[in-house]
A and B are shown apart, each in its own frame.
Chain A
Amino acid sequence: MTAPPRAGQLGLIGCPVCSLVSRAPSFEHAGCPRCGSPLRRRKPASLSRTWALLIAAFIVYIPANILPIMRTASLGDVDDNTILSGVLELWDKDSQALAIIVFSASIVVPMLKFLALLVLLTCVHRRSHWAQLQRAKLYRMIELIGHWSMLDVFVVALLTALVRFNLLSSVEPLPGVIFFGLTVVLTMFASLSFDPRLTWDDEEPHA
């Protein structure tokens, strides 16, 4: 059984915004005749963009984990915490549930994202037919959970604003949190720039 024809094979292109189907343009930088949004068969340079953003995210993920993200000072006892040391501290202080939440939001989710995007990208490069449906689900999943990684950043921002008792206790953000925020933002951009339709392309060369 042959696969149904694709829009490209029929010389058609659909607008991603208003869904108007028009003829495939013979020139670059075409726009939808109805709403004016760009018409592209696939996201331009999707793979290279995703790669670039993913690599950048991975680079900034290293200092995000090494540098302390938060300084808590209570009664003169100054404590700098990295993400991992914070998780360990929570675990030691019998807040295992909280530790698991922070651990999954700050470490598991970004790592999952990296892995998932890596899998998707390598599969596209190899034009693999392997588990295409699962790969599509994986993509939707990382779109969904990507935002949750910002949890840590929000916690630091909240605590910094709320815990201001001068001498008694105070919380200060440290450079690590900026790198962590950058990691999350970059992975979100990376997953945005990835075109899931590429998963289904098999013979045509991509842009």
Chain B
Amino acid sequence: MPEKDAPNGGIDDLPQPIVRRRRLNASWIWLVPALAAVVGASLVVRSALEAGPQITISFQSGEGLEAGKTPVKYKSVVIGTVHSLGLSQDRNSVLVKVNLHKSAESFATANTRFWVVRPRIGLGGVSGVDTLFSGAFIGADVGDATEPRRDFVGLENPPSVTHGTPGKSFELHSGDLGSIDVGSPIYYRRIQVGHVTSYQLNPDGKSVSLHVFIDAPSDRFVTQATRFWNASGVDVSLGANGLKLNTESLATVIAGGIGFQDAPGPQDDTPAPADMNFVLFGDEATAMRPPDGEPSYIRMRFDQSVRGLDIDAPVEFLGIDIGHVVSVNLDYDEKTERFPIIVGAVIYPRRLGRAQTKLAAIAAKHGDVADIAQTVGVLVAHGLRAQARNGNLLTGQLYVSLDFVPGAPKVAFNPASKPLEIPTARGSLSQLQERLDSIVGKLQKVPFDKIGNHLDESLTQLSSTLHHLNTDLLPQLKGSLQGINKTLGSADKALSGDSPLQQNLGLTLEELQRMARSLRVFSDYLAAHPEALIRGRRPDAAPKRESPPGATRASPASPPPGSGP
């Protein structure tokens, strides 16, 4: 087998391998999985270390929330992620499980608040626009508490004040909410310095409490004497200066708002402590009015109709508003068989201002108790009477006027009665009404029918007279007038500058002038030569001096004045 031997025999001919440089041991390769294991383990350890507490938040709706994606943010920093969404046992709320970061462990404490940030468009403005694209996220606000907690109830609306915002919160009390809402602005001198954070009905259901937050540094302007008022809407007042429209800002017209300011005059201007209670007045004028003090109740008995007298109608003393009507009731008087109307009113004596203090001082001087009843008694003795007067002729609104009626009949006054009964006098309008009635009665007695008939006859006569005048007299008058017109025309013609009469007159006058001149020459000649009357005119003496021929010739040419006559 030469084919087989050939390779066998050739083995020795084959080249010997060369020696190569020694290389690294192969076992280093186990470093690779070890390294991978270390990296993997570090990942596990890191995620375990980073994992913070898992909390559960319940919301009314899971709108916009996505498991594994929706972040939880505090001051725009992500502190966790929604892990899963689920329904509660009673299916009324959505339970959101949130994995907080390790660093956000402190958020799993008792008074942390969570809410869903969604785009919101309200009357007060627009918020959360960025979430339109990025999707909703859960906002968080941490409180002071340290006790840990895992289950939270999410807020449906973002809290208007986050924890740690510098400023103070106050509590306002009002009869109703008006158009104020959470987030409504609060203005100080028309600058927005805060907003309403919450409101709730008081437990008795009769009033409303509002919490407001005033941002620092404006919170120091809230003092012990500060008055808050509802600045919503538009305040339109018609005064002697014309129509006045007053509003805090355009936003308050729509969204409502609150204004505040110190009451006028010297006041206690120490800053109010946080959470102090204030009254929320209905409008600025009410808020700025000096305090009314203790109210007093009075009662009035009217015998005439009080149509137009409403509850809250003002009670005025000499034109000053001192109170308002609180009740209008019908009564029956058995003795007179009439229906008197009992009007109850509340008055605030302190609104009388200086007068009240002076009256009190005088009363004190006399040793009396400074009592409203006493004062009123004196005033009634001087003729103080209540009258239902017409405040507005257009609408017929009545108000109660306490005024001094001259010559009012004396009335018994009982200062001990409660409430004080103030005697009444008939109102000016009802008096006017009575007089008008009597005038109307007299007017009714006038025989209008007869007068009418007479008038009719007279008118017929007048009509015939006029007809006569038209048909007979007027054409004649027309003829006469035409004649006069003609005469006047001819007179006009005769007197015009170029008429023959005028020319003749001119000529005649010239002639007269000439005659007068001749007469004068004649008289002069006679004066010089009186003999000429007898002898006739002498021929002129020859001139002594040589005169020009023209002159000598001219003298015979001159008219001989004396020759004429």
Residues of A at the B interface (CB closer than 8 Å) are 10-13, 20-23, 25, 27-34, 36, 38-39, 44-45, 48-49, 52-53, 55-57, 59-60, 62-63, 67, 75-80, 182, 186, 193
Contacts and interface: CB of A to CB of B under 8 A. Distances in A.
B19 A36 contact: no
B26 A33 contact: no
Interface in B171-212: none
Contacts of B16: 22-23, 25, 33
Contact of B134 (A29, A76, A182): A76
Contact of A59 (B14, B18, B40, B69): B40
Chain A interface SS verdict (over half): mixed
Interface string B14-44: 1111111111001101101101110110010
Contacts of A182: 36
A23 B40 contact: no
A49 B27 CA distance: 8
B20 A45 contact: no
A30 B33 contact: no
Interface of B: 7, 11, 14-23, 26-27, 29-30, 32-33, 35-37, 39-40, 43, 69, 130, 133-135
A29 B23 contact: yes
Contacts of A62: 40
A34 B133 CA distance: 69
A23 B14 contact: yes
Given A11-B11, A48-B30, A33 B17 contact: yes
Contacts of A45: 26-27, 29
A54 B301 CA distance: 109
B17 A25 contact: yes
B14 A22 contact: yes
Given A48-B30, A52-B30, A29 B20 contact: yes
Given A11-B11, A48-B27, A49-B26, A31 B20 contact: yes
A48 B31 CA distance: 12
Contacts of A34: 15
Contacts of A21: 14
B19 A31 contact: yes
22 contacts: A23-B17, A29-B19, A29-B20, A29-B22, A30-B20, A32-B18, A33-B16, A44-B26, A52-B30, A53-B33, A55-B36, A56-B33, A56-B37, A60-B36, A63-B40, A63-B43, A67-B43, A75-B134, A76-B133, A76-B135, A77-B134, A78-B134
B130 A53 contact: no
A21 to B, nearest CB: 6
Contacts of A28: 22
A60 B11 CA distance: 49
Contacts of B17: 13, 22-23, 25, 30-33, 39
B20 A12 contact: no
A10 to B, nearest CB: 7
A21 B16 CA distance: 10
Contacts of A27: 19
A86 to B, nearest CB: 14
A23 to B, nearest CB: 5
Nearest to A29: B20
Nearest to B40: A59
Contacts of B39: 59-60, 63
A76 B19 CA distance: 65
